């Protein structure tokens, strides 16, 4: 099956935005064993769109078209599709009704311009968009089936995942199938990971792929071939070999995230959580709260950005801060103990660091971050030099290390992990009376 992609939009062609939708769409096909053979980007000019649809539909079996379904005059994918297929553009009452319901739910009048989004080529079939006003559609042109998707990333992704990919996967099931397992690790560099995994002796149906989702890396274990049962066995064999290689750096698998994995473990073990954040400014707890059901274990968070807040909210002694500095093992430890005591949560995580670009010193350069975790009967504190990849990256990696400490503890792994790109300069582990 030959798959191509067509991206529309002046903002892509002019370099105003980078075409990350195209990257994502490609990945969906690679995941089912097909690499798209061509990607074409055209602007918002009707004749270019028409000729591109006509031309590429002679070469491909499936074409994913992205963008140009909005209500404004520069959105002309449907009109171009109708012209290319020599079909009239007609109003689909089904989508007019759907739009009217959407606006009624918001108690708003529908602007007349939105009606344009219900005008499709006569023989097109609507693809539902539960999260926006642009419906998708599919139509046949020459040898190709063209799937039209909206440019708004979350609308496009939802439509691809829920409607289009299942449709295509069903169509191609006849020949080859492929099974996939995703393992995510944290703290190993891509280069070292590649070197370690290259040495593995894997079944010949299996290919490994990597994708950096900084700060974690996804390892894709894909088995492709004619025998589905054998593929499952090969995939599991290979996944097990990968797990053994990456060891305690494995953070989560298929369909999970760091946050969902922690939520599952916390709820299973009956624990509750509080955080005390300085340089991350609430990002860590926000990531956990983004998961539905997090209220079953998340208690509260203290964002103690100033020294006074550390003292007033968490009872960190002012002398401790003046003696050791806000970014120190001692202060991070006092923050975690204070947060645990104030909240009466089972675990408290704390972080205090120099995110930069200012505020560094020779002794504590930008990227110096102190972490602590107070649990029911133990406290772990560490001071780490995170790489100086900029303020946002330092904050992201700091959040990931906080969550990794908790994940390791809940899984019974060593709480102090060895991170390739972050150097631990001090650590302290204390057992406390229960």
- What is the rounded distance in angstroms from the CA atom of residue 286 to the CA atom of residue 280? 10
Q: Which of 244, 423, 426, 430 binds a copy of itself (CB under 8 A)?
A: 423
Site string for a copy of itself, 24-53 (x = CB under 8 A): xxxx--x----xxxxxxxxx-x--x---x-
Is residue 108 part of the contact set for a copy of itself (CB under 8 A)? yes
CA dihedral of residues 207, 212, 217, 221 (deg, nearest 10): -10
Q: Which of 280, 328, 330, 368 binds a copy of itself (CB under 8 A)?
A: 280
Of 88-96, 120-128, 161-169, 308-316, the segment contacting a copy of itself by CB under 8 A is 308-316
Is residue 260 part of the contact set for a copy of itself (CB under 8 A)? no
- What is the rounded distance in angstroms from the CA atom of residue 242 to the CA atom of residue 151? 36
**In the bound complex, what is the minimum distance in angstroms from residue 65's beta carbon to a copy of itself?**
15
Site for a copy of itself in 230-259 (CB under 8 A): none
Which runs of E-coded beta strand occur in 80-131? 89-91, 119-121, 125-127
Angle (deg, nearest 10), helices 46-56 and 77-85: 50
CB nearer to a copy of itself: pick between 148 and 297: 297
Q: Which of 279, 336, 369, 370 binds a copy of itself (CB under 8 A)?
A: 279
Per the CB < 8 A criterion, the answer to whether 373 and 347 are in contact is yes
**In the bound complex, what is the minimum distance in angstroms from residue 26's beta carbon to a copy of itself?**
3
User: By three-state DSSP, how is residue 97 classified?
Assistant: helix
Query: DSSP characters for 251-274?
Result: EEETT--HHHHHHHHHHHTT--EE
Is residue 302 part of the contact set for a copy of itself (CB under 8 A)? yes
**In the bound complex, what is the minimum distance in angstroms from residue 124's beta carbon to a copy of itself?**
21
Is residue 220 part of the contact set for a copy of itself (CB under 8 A)? yes
Q: Which of 127, 285, 327, 332 binds a copy of itself (CB under 8 A)?
A: 285
- What is the rounded distance in angstroms from the CA atom of residue 278 to the CA atom of residue 350? 8
**In the bound complex, what is the minimum distance in angstroms from residue 431's beta carbon to a copy of itself?**
28
Whether the bond into 215 is cis, omega within 30 of 0: yes
Site for a copy of itself in 161-200 (CB under 8 A): 189-192, 194-195, 198
Site string for a copy of itself, 390-409 (x = CB under 8 A): xxxx-x--------------
- What is the rounded distance in angstroms from the CA atom of residue 210 to the CA atom of residue 184? 10
- What is the rounded distance in angstroms from the CA atom of residue 272 to the CA atom of residue 346? 5
CB nearer to a copy of itself: pick between 91 and 189: 189
Is residue 363 part of the contact set for a copy of itself (CB under 8 A)? no
H or E, element range at 244? helix 228-246
Go through 205-218 and write b for each residue having 16 or more CB atoms within 10 A of its CB, e for each that does not.
bbebeeeeeebbbe
Is residue 18 part of the contact set for a copy of itself (CB under 8 A)? yes
**In the bound complex, what is the minimum distance in angstroms from residue 373's beta carbon to a copy of itself?**
17
Site for a copy of itself in 111-150 (CB under 8 A): 111-114, 131, 133
Burial class (CB in 10 A: 0-12, 13-18, 19+), 323: exposed
Sign (positive or negative) of CA dihedral 66, 67, 68, 69: positive
**In the bound complex, what is the minimum distance in angstroms from residue 176's beta carbon to a copy of itself?**
14
Of 84-92, 159-167, 305-313, 330-338, the segment contacting a copy of itself by CB under 8 A is 305-313
CA atoms in the 13 A half-sphere facing the CB of 330: 11
CB nearer to a copy of itself: pick between 88 and 365: 365
Q: Which of 66, 149, 205, 284 binds a copy of itself (CB under 8 A)?
A: 284
Q: Which of 86, 94, 290, 430 binds a copy of itself (CB under 8 A)?
A: 290
**In the bound complex, what is the minimum distance in angstroms from residue 56's beta carbon to a copy of itself?**
10
Site for a copy of itself in 60-79 (CB under 8 A): 70-74
Q: Which of 309, 315, 320, 427 binds a copy of itself (CB under 8 A)?
A: 309
CA atoms in the 13 A half-sphere facing the CB of 90: 12
The pair of three-digit structure tokens given for residue 301, joined into one six-digit string: 């968070």
CB nearer to a copy of itself: pick between 178 and 330: 178
The pair of three-digit structure tokens given for residue 30, joined into one six-digit string: 């690679």
Q: Given strand 423-431, what is the order of strands in its sheet?
A: 273-277, 347-353, 368-374, 378-385, 423-431
CB nearer to a copy of itself: pick between 279 and 415: 279
Is residue 225 part of the contact set for a copy of itself (CB under 8 A)? no
- What is the rounded distance in angstroms from the CA atom of residue 208 to the CA atom of residue 229? 19
CB nearer to a copy of itself: pick between 87 and 320: 320
Is residue 269 part of the contact set for a copy of itself (CB under 8 A)? no
Is residue 91 part of the contact set for a copy of itself (CB under 8 A)? no
């Amino acid at each position: 099956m030959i798959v191509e992609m067509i991206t529309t939009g002046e903002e892509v062609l002019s370099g105003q935005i980078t075409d990350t939708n195209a990257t994502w769409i490609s990945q969906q096909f690679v995941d089912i064993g097909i690499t798209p053979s061509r990607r074409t980007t055209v602007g918002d000019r009707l004749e270019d769109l028409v000729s591109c649809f006509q031309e590429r539909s002679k070469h491909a079996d499936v074409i994913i078209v992205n963008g140009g379904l909005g209500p404004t005059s520069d959105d002309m994918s449907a009109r171009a599709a109708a012209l290319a297929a020599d079909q009239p553009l007609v109003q689909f009452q089904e989508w007019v009704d759907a739009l009217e319901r959407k606006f009624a739910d918001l108690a708003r009048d529908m602007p007349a311009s939105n009606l344009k989004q219900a005008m499709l080529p006569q023989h097109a079939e609507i693809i539902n968009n539960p999260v926006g006003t642009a419906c998708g559609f599919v139509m046949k042109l020459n040898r190709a089936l063209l799937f039209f998707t909206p440019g708004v990333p979350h609308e496009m992704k939802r439509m691809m995942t829920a409607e289009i990919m299942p449709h295509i996967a069903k169509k191609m099931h006849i020949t080859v199938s492929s099974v996939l397992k995703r393992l995510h690790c944290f703290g190993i560099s891509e280069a070292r990971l590649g070197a370690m995994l290259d040495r593995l002796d894997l079944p010949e149906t299996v290919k490994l792929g990597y994708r950096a989702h900084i700060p974690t890396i996804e390892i894709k274990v894909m088995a492709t071939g004619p025998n589905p049962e054998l593929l499952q066995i090969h995939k599991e064999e290979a996944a097990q070999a990968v797990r053994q290689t990456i060891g305690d750096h494995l953070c989560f698998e298929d369909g999970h995230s760091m946050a969902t994995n922690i939520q599952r473990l916390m709820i299973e073990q009956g624990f509750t959580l509080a955080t005390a954040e300085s340089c991350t400014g609430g990002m860590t707890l926000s990531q956990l709260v983004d998961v539905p059901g997090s209220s079953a274990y998340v208690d509260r968070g203290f964002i103690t950005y100033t020294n006074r807040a550390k003292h007033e909210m968490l009872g960190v002694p002012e002398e401790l801060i003046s003696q050791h500095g806000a970014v120190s093992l001692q202060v991070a430890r006092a923050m975690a103990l204070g947060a645990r005591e104030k909240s009466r949560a089972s675990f408290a995580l704390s972080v205090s660091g120099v995110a930069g670009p200012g505020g560094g010193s020779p002794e504590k350069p930008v990227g110096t971050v102190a972490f602590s975790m107070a649990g029911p009967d133990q406290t772990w504190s560490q001071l780490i030099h995170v790489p100086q990849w900029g303020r946002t990256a330092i904050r992201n990696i700091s959040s990931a290390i906080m969550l990794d400490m908790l994940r390791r503890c809940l899984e019974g792994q060593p709480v102090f992990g060895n991170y390739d790109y972050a150097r631990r300069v001090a650590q302290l582990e204390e057992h406390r009376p229960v």
